[in-house]
Amino acid sequence: FHNLTDTEVIEALDNTSNTSAPGFSQQSYKQVKWALQSQREILIALYRQCLHAGYHPKTWRWAIAVALRKPRKPDYSEPRAYRLITLLECLGKVLEKI
């Protein structure tokens, strides 16, 4: 285990989209980026402690699954006519990237 740097958190957030759909808590990447700008020490300390303890908070692993119809399917009563899209928590996705 190594000491997490500000740069590692910034790089993990740089490759994210501000327009991604939020997860269960409705918290978006844009809000996480804002938190990093306004409360950098707190957010980085939070990620540092998660990594140090080997802990991924359960609420950060919650997801919403949305079933979308696949185009041009003859029978939408069949489960294979749908595609599941999973919306995960942004804080958890950043932790996984780190």
Residue 25 confidence (pLDDT): 87
What is the Cβ-side half-sphere exposure of residue 83, based on CA atoms within 13 angstroms? Answer: 8
- Please write the tens of the pLDDT for every residue from 43-69: 999 999 999 999 999 999 988 899 999
| Domain regions of the chain by residue span | 6-59+89-97
Residue 1 confidence (pLDDT): 55
User: Residue 81 pLDDT more than 80?
Assistant: yes
User: Which of 14-18, 50-54, 83-87, 92-96 bottoms out in mean pLDDT, i.e. has the lowest?
Assistant: 14-18
Average pLDDT on 81-92 reads 91
User: Residue 34 pLDDT more than 70?
Assistant: yes
Instruction: Give rounded-to-5 percent helix, strand, coil for the chain.
Output: 50, 15, 35
Tell me the DSSP string of 58-69.
Answer: GGGG-EEEEEEE
pTM for this predicted structure: 0.77
> Residue 91's closest CA among 40, 33, 17?
33
